[in-house]
Amino acid sequence: MLVRDRDARRDKERGWHAMIEVTKKVGRDREKGGRWESMALRVRSPYGGMFAMQIELEPDVPGAELIAAAEVEALLAFEGILQLKRTFDGRFARDGQDARGRRDRGLPMRALHLHVTWVREPNAEERRASSAVWLEGVVADPPQISCHPEWPSIQLAGTILRVTTTRPADFPGLPATLDETVEVNVAVPTSYAQAEGLYRQGSRVRLVGQIDCRMER
């Protein structure tokens, strides 16, 4: 990813610092004070081409030391679970506070994030920057049929899969668990032999697929 080099002199023509390429960014949460690490991955789309995927890492994730030594364009394998995270776009924040004294943080947004649980070296079969996802859940809505925005010959049936995951507590021996329900946008080519499994609202299905990036307005 590209960030501004604060140690470099400002560009005389454009008036801002030069951009440098880094593998990760490190900072602290201004509200909670926790430490975070953010980085961008280049992932291959199942239909061809590449897209950028932002992830956040906790400092104690197993294999995190591989990231510290990684260079740009290095190939690493990340394993984790998908989470639905709420964020705010600060570009739309307004000055002032509401009746309860809370400041406006901007336009609320929801997006899927990868909660990384393990970083490792890729094996012999993982020599390309691709992805694999295993999901089990309930079809929340009837599918909507549309064409792929870049490949109009591919017809897709898109719906929402409601997935519930159970994670154990981080502290060893603690019996508590964390149940989390995530709504995942999924799409399958209508020509696929088992695509009809997504056509029935309320049915429980198991899916194996890949992550893709789709821009919507």
Domain boundaries, the chain: 1-129, 132-217
DSSP string for residues in 114-156? EEEEEEE---TT--SS---EEEEEEE-S--EEEE-SS-TT-EE
pLDDT 10s digits, 205-217: 999 988 887 765 5
pLDDT grade for 51, boundaries at 50, 70 and 90:
confident
Question: Which CATH code for domain 132-217?
Answer: 2.40.50.140
pLDDT of 42? 81
pLDDT grade for 92, boundaries at 50, 70 and 90:
confident
pLDDT grade for 20, boundaries at 50, 70 and 90:
very low
pLDDT of 176? 84
Question: Taking residues 49-60, what's their average pLDDT?
Answer: 78
Asked whether the beta carbons of 74 and 65 are under 8 A apart, the reply is no
pLDDT of 2? 46
Give pTM, 2 decimals.
0.65
Question: Taking residues 186-202, what's their average pLDDT?
Answer: 88
Lowest mean pLDDT among 2-6, 41-45, 128-132: 2-6
Asked whether the beta carbons of 47 and 56 are under 8 A apart, the reply is no
Question: Taking residues 161-173, what's their average pLDDT?
Answer: 82
CA distance 136 to 68: 34
pLDDT grade for 155, boundaries at 50, 70 and 90:
very high
Question: Taking residues 164-179, what's their average pLDDT?
Answer: 81
Q: Which is more confidently placed, 15 or 180?
A: 180
132-217 has the same fold as 1-129:
yes
Lowest mean pLDDT among 15-29, 105-119, 149-163, 164-178: 15-29
Instruction: Provide the CATH topology of domain 1-129.
Output: OB fold (Dihydrolipoamide Acetyltransferase, E2P) (2.40.50)
Q: Which is more confidently placed, 79 or 41?
A: 79
Does position 88 have pLDDT exceeding 60, yes or no? Answer: yes
Does position 193 have pLDDT exceeding 60, yes or no? Answer: yes
CA distance 199 to 203: 9
Asked whether the beta carbons of 188 and 212 are under 8 A apart, the reply is no
pLDDT grade for 1, boundaries at 50, 70 and 90:
very low
